[in-house]
Amino acid sequence: MLILAVVVVTVAAGVSLGLLASDGGDGAPVGSAQGQSSAGAVEGSSPTASKTPSPTPTRSYPLSRTPRTIPAVRAHTPARGPGWQPEKGQRVVVSDGDLADEGRLLAGELGLTYAGEKDDVRAGDVRLALNDDEGADPESYSMTVRGGRVTISGPADAGVFYGTRTLKQEVHGGGTAPEGVVRDEPAKPVRGLMLDIARKHFTAGWIEDRVRELGDLKYNQLGLHFSDDQGFRIASDSHPEIVSREHLTKAQVKRIVDLAASRHITVVPEIDSPGHLGAVIAAHPDLQLRNAQGVATRGAVDISDPDAAEIVDDLLNEYADLFPGGQWHLGGDEYQALTVSDPEASFPQLARAATEAYGSGAGVADLTTGWLNDRADTVRAHDKTPRAWNDGFFAGTSVQADKDIQVAYWTGKEIGARLPAEYLSAGRKVINYNDEFLYYVLGQPLTFVYPTGQRIYEQWTPLVVRGTQAVPAKYDDQILGGSFAVWCDLANSQTEAQVAAGIRMPLRATVQKLWDPGKPELSWTEFKALGDRLD
């Protein structure tokens, strides 16, 4: 309910107007409006009635309402006052030089002047500041709108950036940032979009547009799956022979990575192995896995051949500097040697290699797990935290996947896929890619249907890791977050523009559920209308 309060201000001739307002929640007055002349304050008074009480001018400010943004802010302390709107000539200032990039970006977006580090205070200022809130989430921030000014502060530049995204949404389309204090932070540290740029070539400009969209929605990861059977889509110096005709140059990738960094988004590359390496095999057919009858296995390299490991490690090492973020996706899923009824009989060379490496009881699943661990060693040497698809982790093997390899849980349909609780009870950290809700598969092959924002908004939470059932809440801290995923199985089914339109509301619904753990206050109809208004 909107609570109205009237603030009465008595104005004497020749004295400038000062609007007093209630406490904004942190001990200081809010809603002051300075610099108005008495001439503007005595409207309606009679100049000939000086000996009789003149009508007292009043201004009414209702208690401010919580701003409506995507994702929704976690807490807002309302106050009475005019709020803030951007006007030409106003400044964005910073209290710390580390926030210069955030300040320049916001100033450019709102048509303000970036004034750099300043200690003085002017009407209309937006100030960005770092605070010394030790132990706080580095992605948290507070935003105070008071007296015609805005202050956004946080323990790290990421949080301050997210505060600027909130302000940008508040004033979008002529809106007003409401008086009061926003205190906000994400529920989950991983909020991602994964793009399959291997099966379908996406232009650099299109990917950059997605980066800007993700930044405004407070996403912090962009996955690039750039190697698969259908294509290898980034230029390579170590193995140029494997690169597809349509691909991104390293300069283009660097621009994408730099743009993402400016939005506090980490780009997470994926070279999937030992399956899904068809583009590599096309240039190196001798590496392809063959069964006992000599029949080739699609997309799979022979992991008993040291040359297969060498070429994959060459690529992992080559791209480590191109992607300076601390995350790497190793794939590990759908190795076709493990889809047959008796892998050891079908692939005797793999069986021999397993026993030679891990003892007489070892099998093909052990050898495949050893491959995953070896690739994890390669990226770990570059200070990357590895992750792999959940069906790349096997039960009942003597060789166990390294404990620090995060589980990218996508499905329960694949051979080897187990219930999420099995990974969680073993202490593993999980990222939710639930294919029931978060998989946008071009052409809708098999049983896939395009996910809707409404279904995500109304039915999915980060605890719903597989299918439609949630895991016990006791595992909440182990679920790092989630990622929406675009897969291009039937690459020509949609254009770039159609993909962008198709994932627009699902992306907004997904981040709402990753940022705020509570049930959304808005109905889906209201949320969709908000999304339409903010675009």
Alpha-carbon distance values, 424 to 68, 478, 480 (Å):
35, 7, 11
**How is residue 439 written in tokens?**
């998989």
Of 65, 261, 173, 210, nearest to 501 (Cα)? Answer: 210
Query: Residue 469: beta bridge partners?
Result: 466
H or E segment at 154? strand 149-154
For residues 534 and 172, is the Cβ–Cβ distance under 8 A?
Answer: yes
Distance CA 404, CA 398 (A): 18
Non-local (6+) Cβ contacts of 120 within 8 A are none
The count of C-alpha atoms lying within 13 angstroms of the C-alpha of 386, restricted to the half-sphere facing its C-beta, is: 27
At residue 339, what is the residue type? T
C-alpha torsion sign, points 154, 160, 164, 165: negative
**How is residue 414 written in tokens?**
């694949």
- Torsion of the alpha carbons at 335, 336, 339 and 340, rounded to the nearest 10: -140
Query: Which among 310, 334, 422, 521 is annotated as catalytic?
Result: 334
Pairing of strands 91-94, 113-117: parallel
Chain-centre distance of CA 394, in angstroms?
A: 29
Pairing of strands 141-146, 180-184: antiparallel
Distance CA 374, CA 133 (A): 40
Helix (H, G, I), strand (E, B) or coil at 101: helix
H or E segment at 493? none
Query: Is 334 tagged catalytic?
Result: yes
**DSSP symbol at 379:** H
**How is residue 455 written in tokens?**
């279904």
Distance CA 42, CA 45 (A): 6
Burial 83-117 (b: 16+ CB within 10 A, else e): bbebeeebbbbbbeeebebbbebbbebbebebbee
For residues 276 and 269, is the Cβ–Cβ distance under 8 A?
Answer: no
For the annotated catalytic residues, the residue numbers are: 334
